[in-house]
Amino acid sequence: MGHKNIVILGGSYGGISTAHYLLRHVIPVLPTEDTYQVLLVSPSSQAMCRQACPRAMISDEMFPQEKLFVDIAPSFEQYPKDHFRFIQGTATQLDHNNRSIYVQLNTSTVPETEKIEFHAIVIATGTSTTSPLLGLNRDELYLHQQWATFRAVLPTAKSIVVAGGGPSGIETAGELGEFLNGRSGCFTSKTATPKVPITVVTGGSQILPALRPAIAKKAEKYLSDVGVTIIKNARVKTVTPSGAGIDIIDSKATLTLDDGTILTPDIYIPATGVSPNTGFIDSALLSNNGRVETDNTFRIEKAGPRVYAVGDVASNVQNTGVHVILSCIPILCANMKRDLLLYTGKEGVAVGSDRVFKEDLRTSQMVPIGRNKGVGEAMGYQLPSFLVWLAKGRDYWLWTTANVWSGKQWAKES
Ligand SMILES: Cc1cc2nc3c(=O)[nH]c(=O)nc-3n(C[C@H](O)[C@H](O)[C@H](O)COP(=O)(O)OP(=O)(O)OC[C@H]3O[C@@H](n4cnc5c(N)ncnc54)[C@H](O)[C@@H]3O)c2cc1C
The DSSP bridge pattern shows strands 160-163 and 267-270 to be parallel
Judge whether 372 lies within some domain: no
Judge whether 375 lies within some domain: no
Q: Which of 9-13, 36-40, 182-186 has the lowest mean pLDDT?
A: 182-186
Residue 188: the pLDDT is 52
Which residue is closest in CA terms to ligand 1's atom 22?
312
Which of 125, 138, 147 is the best mutation target for the ligand 1 pocket, counting ligand atoms within 8 Å of the beta carbon and taking the most?
Answer: 125
Q: CB burial class (10 A; 0-12, 13-18, 19+) of residue 27? A: buried
Residue 305: the pLDDT is 98
Judge whether 101 lies within some domain: yes
Judge whether 348 lies within some domain: yes
354 lies in the same domain as 314: yes
Q: Is 26 a pocket residue for ligand 1 (Cβ < 6 Å)? A: no
332 lies in the same domain as 287: yes
Residue 1: the pLDDT is 63
Judge whether 198 lies within some domain: yes
CA nearest to 51, candidates 365, 397, 389, 309: 397
pLDDT digits (tens, 9 = 90+) for 313-343: 999 999 889 999 999 999 999 999 999 999 9
- The Å distance, Cα 51 to ligand 1 centre, comes to 9
Judge whether 239 lies within some domain: yes
7 lies in the same domain as 115: yes
Q: How many domains, in total, are found in the chain?
A: 2
pLDDT digits (tens, 9 = 90+) for 126-156: 999 999 999 999 999 999 999 999 999 999 9
pLDDT mean over 18-33: 94
pLDDT digits (tens, 9 = 90+) for 204-224: 999 999 999 999 999 999 999
Give the range of the structural domain holding residue 296, as residue numbers without chain letter.
3-126+277-362+396-410
Judge whether 100 lies within some domain: yes
User: Which atom of ligand 1 is the closest one to the Cα of 90?
Assistant: 42
15 lies in the same domain as 107: yes
Q: Is 222 a pocket residue for ligand 1 (Cβ < 6 Å)? A: no
- Indicate whether 75 pLDDT > 80: yes
- Indicate whether 186 pLDDT > 70: no
Under the banding of pLDDT at 50, 70 and 90, the label for residue 107 is confident
Residue 192: the pLDDT is 67
Q: Is 10 a pocket residue for ligand 1 (Cβ < 6 Å)? A: yes
Which of 70, 105, 312 is the best mutation target for the ligand 1 pocket, counting ligand atoms within 8 Å of the beta carbon and taking the most?
Answer: 312
111 lies in the same domain as 207: no
122 lies in the same domain as 24: yes
The DSSP bridge pattern shows strands 127-129 and 198-201 to be unpaired
User: Which atom of ligand 1 is the closest one to the Cα of 279?
Assistant: 41
State which amino acid sits at residue 1.
M
109 lies in the same domain as 211: no
Which residue is closest in CA terms to ligand 1's atom 2?
51
Which residue is closest in CA terms to ligand 1's atom 7?
51
11 lies in the same domain as 66: yes
Under the banding of pLDDT at 50, 70 and 90, the label for residue 184 is confident
317 lies in the same domain as 254: no
Q: 270: Cβ–Cβ under 8 A, 6 or more apart, which residues? A: 130, 131, 163, 164, 236, 239, 245, 246
258 lies in the same domain as 291: no
Can you name the residues that pair with 265 across neighbouring β-strands?
Answer: none
Judge whether 146 lies within some domain: no
Which residue is closest in CA terms to ligand 1's atom 39?
125
CA nearest to 335, candidates 314, 319, 320: 314
| Count of other CB atoms within 10 angstroms of residue 134 | 25
Residue 185: the pLDDT is 61
Q: Is 44 a pocket residue for ligand 1 (Cβ < 6 Å)? A: yes
Among 245, 271, 297, residue at a domain's last position: 271
Among 227, 255, 271, residue at a domain's last position: 271
338 lies in the same domain as 288: yes
Which residue is closest in CA terms to ligand 1's atom 33?
10
Among 241, 271, 301, residue at a domain's last position: 271
402 lies in the same domain as 302: yes
Where are the extended beta strands (E) located within 13-138? 35-42, 46-48, 69-71, 84-95, 100-105, 113-117, 120-123, 127-129
Q: Which of 48-52, 184-188, 370-374 has the lowest mean pLDDT?
A: 184-188
Domain CATH number, residue 74: 3.50.50.60
Residue 122: the pLDDT is 99
Q: Is 321 a pocket residue for ligand 1 (Cβ < 6 Å)? A: yes
- Alpha carbon dihedral 300, 303, 305, 309, in 10-degree steps, equals -30
Query: Is the separation of the CB atoms in 7 and 101 below 8 Å?
Result: yes
What span, in angstroms and rounded, lies between the C-alpha atoms of 376 and 399? 19
